[in-house]
Structure 1
Amino acid sequence: MPDIWKNVSVVFTAALVGSLITGAMISQPTRLQSDAIAQDRGGNLTTHQAANLDTAQDLSSAFRNVADMLRPSVVSISTKQTRIIRRAGRGLPRGFRTPPGFEDFFNQQQGPEERQERSVGSGSGVIVRQDGYILTNNHVIQGADALEVEFSDGSSAPGKIVGTDPDTDLAVVKVDLPNLKAVKFGDSDKIRVGDWVLAIGSPFGLDQTVTAGIISGKNRDQDIIGEDGEGFEDFLQTDAAINPGNSGGALVNLRGELVGINTAILSRSGASAGIGFAIPVGLARPVLSSIIETGTVRRGFLGAGVRDLTPSIVKEFNLPVTAGALIGNVLEGKPAANAGLKPGDIVTRMDSRIVTSGSQLRNYIAGRLPGAVVVMDINRDGKPMQVKVNLQERTDSVMAAFKAGEVMGAELIPANEETAREYGYSDLKSGLIVTNVKDGTDAENAGLKPGDIIESAAGAPLKSVADFEKILDAGTQRQQNIRVIVRRANERMLMVVRP
């Protein structure tokens, strides 16, 4: 990758309250501006100049009308969070050290030290129902103890979190107020690259800020949503200025319809560089409805790995189709396998919709409820076929099984709240659970047993089998031993993996 991108990062656009220094730059008039002030010798605009001015005024009028229409539907959200920081003890006076072996004694005698740390943040939101429901980003309200929602007329009200969905970075907030002005939803699938859009929100705490731009791209997948970037993404890209504090705000078309929720930017400085990302409403609406109805999000599960059908794959395998999603691994006993899908199948349509990418297929499946039947048109070895897939529910335990792997003869699944309970642990949030150990393998020789938890390797907490494999591979390349911490019931053990 070229060096120019080394310092570029994706920044979520919620803001911590701080200071803002602004600068101004005076630029030369654009051609339309020049035409607006240019006159012929008689002091009148030429026909061409008048036409250009009319075009500019029409566009300005459209922007103004949309801004006036949408401002009452876009809110500012202020968050407060209090964290309690605990330390083992007050410590000894400067220059003194705890005698070796007496650390626990001194900590117990001195007692724990606690202090409160408070932080304040801000973001934006969009009123989606007259009875007080507001759609925003999960990262805007995550960890908040209190929410305050401010409206375009300057009034405010406390908000409460109805539900969140980290896998799409969406959340729903409720205020107890009637007759609010709700936004009208547009169709993000129909919006095209080059279409004008406005971004409305509260960047840097500047309420009701409106910026204009175009749709610069569609179907962007930046791997920034969810744990390890495994969330559901299908971003709209825009050059409308988006800055910290815009998160959760509205991206609207010139009909005043909501087409996206502003979420992140790609920037070196953390401020707008003309590359902003918004969650399309086509992805957001099912999440919104599910949270309002049930407080949570239920998703369909296919049980197959999918990837984009790239030109290089088409060429390498001499495939008969050039667009679709390629089926990779298929999990036995799950919906894809039960429907007859096989590795190498190419999905070209689902429920009559043309499939253009693997992420599109994943997002569509996730947007369907468990038990739904999805009709897939596939191509297998040049032959068109059709299968019907009865979706299962996507749960933590199902996903853990899907992400399972084998390392050194030990079968492992990621630990989460659900899988941890199955193995008798109530306090696990990370680590790998050993579900089986094969006879005569390195894992058996090392003493691993089913039910053990591999907590960390080389000092790094483990969240996935891939994490463990990367650390082991790095140790092998450097010919270094890897220290592994294993938990068994209430006991922790040190194991050493040698290359």
Structure 2
Amino acid sequence: MLRKILMTSAIVAIAAFGTFAVYTPSWAVSQPTAMAPVSFADLADKLQPTVVNISSTQKLDADTQQAPEMPEFPEGSPFEDFFNDYMKRHQDQMQAVPATSLGSGFIIDKDKGYIVTNNHVIKDAQEIRVTLHDNAIVNASVVGKDEKTDIALLQADLKSHDVSSAVLGDSDAMRVGDWVIAIGNPFGLGGTVTAGIVSARKRDINAGPYDDFIQTDASINRGNSGGPMFNLKGEVIGINTAIFSPSGGSVGIGFAIPSAITKSVIDQLVKYGKTRRGWLGVRIQSVTDEIAESLSLGKPRGALVASLTGTGPAEKAGIKAGDIIIEFDGKPVADMRALPKLVAETEIGKAVPLTVWRDGKETKLSVTVGELEVAEEKGLIEKQDTPEPSKPEYGEMVPELGIKLMALNPDIRSQFSLPSDVTGLVVMDVGGDTDAARKGLTEGDVIVELNQTAVKTMADVKKAVADAKAANKSTVLMLVNRQGDIQFIAVKLAAAAKPAPDPKDPSPAPAAPDQPATPPVPEAAKP
């Protein structure tokens, strides 16, 4: 599992730090036959004063603590009263117990006292203490923090101490195979130095919307969280944040937040005390091969707009559900995860050009970027829970799609809690061995569009399917409303069953021994 390398203890211990050293591209060019350094000692000596250990204290409320379980006694047993009295005394005596988190950090400005670490190291902290290289212990306060990237900026009085400031380097210049070193506090063992290489770049470990981690095999463990990763120039090119480990210890797979992200976040925390990210106001999804084919896009690329968020920037710019955003502010959008990063880095209030794929061709638009944090405060990007509807008993089967549909009526709206403004046809059943089931369609989903055409009746559905077959398309693109969550799903068309021969028609129907004239209704897919 992926674990944030945070160490928790009941005792305050010296927090650690983490660093990695790496060969930069310029070294690779100037020294094409460069070997591994004989020693990292000089570099470690130079960098030690920039790294700090961090301990943060949180108080656990008494009602969150685990009380002893009450033994079971026979009815009327004298021990029952005894243990009842004991439990009452125990509950009264329980106090808020402090817990301590241990992590690492690094100084970026000695004069101003700025220290960078992971947000999870100081989360919910009531007291933060920083141990410096000269063994002095100082209190620190939080300047700002960003949960989305797991970065926090602290401030402490460092002027009179024997410490130095680290320099943020260029993480984009790092290459796979470059050397890195780590100086940290794994398991409370302060001053531990390890070395390794950049194993991979741009790793997405599903930790957040802006994942772009540097992977390393340098040994980092619990307690290294928030420590810096250095290149061989002594520049910080990453913040150690997570490890992949089945045991909790290092197995040579660690992850660091690139300095390119760190610089942007820290600049905003210094200036505003919080982050200010660009916001577009769209819900997006990946463009699969099937979706690309159904929209005549060719190779999958870009981010598919599933729905718009209120009266956000996207709606004002004329972006529509079903558009594929393939270029933003002059930069190509390679895939779905690329777009949030591009938008987040854009100046708020800036008008930028973007290109969408719509109706089989490129369309140029301009959008004025909003602020993500403001949208969050207004609740414009809140998730909705999806209740599980009961299984209905009626509807008309669409064999090519493998689903049973029914037009909306008051009873159906009531059964599935569908608002009056929702239009389309509701899914009443899904065939077990169908592409619709494999794509996650379930009872209660509302099919709003087929192939970007609104459908409200079974006639609309049949026409859309027929049009797709006539155009030799193997998939149909559905716009699905799942209790307010809008998304596109591309479903492969199955061969429709041959109709049973009309007894009044003397001409024989073509034989189809492998397919019944009237296909049975498939079993419902499990939700």
Q: For the superposition of Structure 1 and Structure 2, which TM-score range results when normalised by the shorter chain?
A: 0.5 to 0.7
1:457-491, Cα deviation, whole Å (9 max, x unpaired): xxxxxxxxxxxxx9x989xxxxxxxxxxxxxxxxx
Aligned to 1:338, what secondary structure does the other structure show? Answer: helix
Select which of 124, 139, 150 maps to 1:158.
139
Task: Label 1:154 to 1:368 Cα distance change in 2 as closer, same or farther (>3 A).
Answer: same
Cα separation, partners in 2 of 1:147 and 1:266, compared to 1, 3 Å: same
Contact 1:80 1:147 in 2 (8 A): yes
Contact 1:327 1:343 in 2 (8 A): yes
Matched, 1:70 2:47: yes
Aligned counterpart for 1:219 among listed residues 195, 202, 206: 202
Corresponding residue for 2:156? Answer: 175
TM-score (norm 1): 0.64
User: What is the SS of the residue equivalent to 1:291?
Assistant: helix
Q: Secondary structure at the match of 1:72?
A: helix
What's the counterpart of residue 203 of structure 1? 186
- In structure 1, distance between residues paired with 2:262 and 2:179: 21
1:373 aligns to 2:351 (yes or no):
yes
Task: Select which of 124, 127, 149 maps to 2:104.
Answer: 124
What is aligned with 1:237?
Answer: 215
**Residues 1:403 and 2:395 are matched in the alignment:** no
Deviation at 1:336, TM superposition (A): 1.5
Task: Evaluate the alpha carbon distance shift between residue 216 and residue 374 of structure 1 in structure 2; reply closer, same or farther with a 3 A threshold.
Answer: farther
Q: Which residue of 2 aligns with 1:184?
A: 167
Tell me if structure 1 keeps the 8 A contact 2:10–2:100. no
Partner of 2:56: 79
Amino acid at match of 1:193: V
Letter in 2 for 1:271: G
Q: Secondary structure at the match of 1:158?
A: strand
What are the Cα deviations for residues 231-259 of structure 1, in whole angstroms up to 9, with x where unaligned? 43222211111100110011122222211
Quote the residue 1:328 is aligned against: 306
* Shift in CA distance, 94/310, structure 1 to aligned 2, threshold 3 Å: closer
Decide whether aligned partners of structure 1 residues 14 and 132 sit closer, same or farther in structure 2, where only a CA change above 3 A counts.
Answer: same
Secondary structure of the 1:328 match is strand
Q: What one-letter code is carried by the residue in structure 2 that aligns with 1:250?
A: P
Q: Distance in 2 between matches of 1:87 and 1:191?
A: 45
TM score, norm. by length of structure 2? 0.61
What does residue 8 of structure 2 align with?
Answer: 16
Equivalent residue runs for 1:407-426 within 5 Å: none
Shift of 1:266: 0.8
> Please, which moves more after superposition, 258-267 or 292-301?
292-301
Select the structure of larger CA radius of gyration. Answer: 2
Q: Deviations over 1:387-434 (max 9, x none)?
A: 32212222325554553477589xxxxxxxxxxxxxxxxxxxxxxxxx
Decide whether aligned partners of structure 1 residues 198 and 345 sit closer, same or farther in structure 2, where only a CA change above 3 A counts.
farther
CA contact (8 A) 2:138 2:156 kept: yes
Task: Tell me how large the CA RMSD over aligned residues is.
Answer: 4.0
C-alpha distance in structure 2 between counterparts of 1:280 and 1:349, whole Å:
24
**In structure 1, the residue corresponding to 2:96 is in which secondary structure?**
strand
Q: Which residue of 2 aligns with 1:340?
A: 318
Contact 1:13 1:264 in 2 (8 A): yes
Structure 1 residues not aligned, in runs of 5+: 1-8, 20-53, 99-105, 226-230, 410-437, 450-469, 475-498
CA contact (8 A) 1:303 1:402 kept: no
Cα–Cα, structure 1 residues 313 and 448, in superposed 2: closer, same or farther, change >3 Å? closer
Whichever residue aligns with residue 147 of structure 1, its letter is I
- Counterpart check, 1:115 vs 2:95: yes
CA distance in 2, matches of 1:306, 1:350: 14
8 Å CA contact 2:286–2:303 kept in 1: the answer is yes
CA-CA distance at 1:211 after TM superposition: 1.8
Q: Which residue of 1 aligns with 2:272?
A: 294
- Give the match's secondary structure for 1:255: coil
After superposition, the Cα gap between the structure-2 partners of 1:118 and 1:407, relative to the gap in structure 1 and judged at 3 Å, is: closer
Query: 1:263 deviation in Å?
Result: 0.5
Identity of aligned residues (%): 36
Find the aligned partners of 2:126 and 2:10 in 1 and give their Cα distance.
20
Structure 2: gaps spanning 5 or more residues:
12-32, 77-83, 390-407, 420-439, 445-526
Answer yes or no: is the 8 Å Cα contact 2:352–2:369 preserved in 1.
yes
Report the alpha carbon displacement of residue 218 of structure 1 after superposing the two structures with TM: 2.2
SS for the counterpart of 2:229 is strand
- Per the TM alignment, residue 122 of structure 1 is displaced from its structure 2 partner at its CA by 0.7
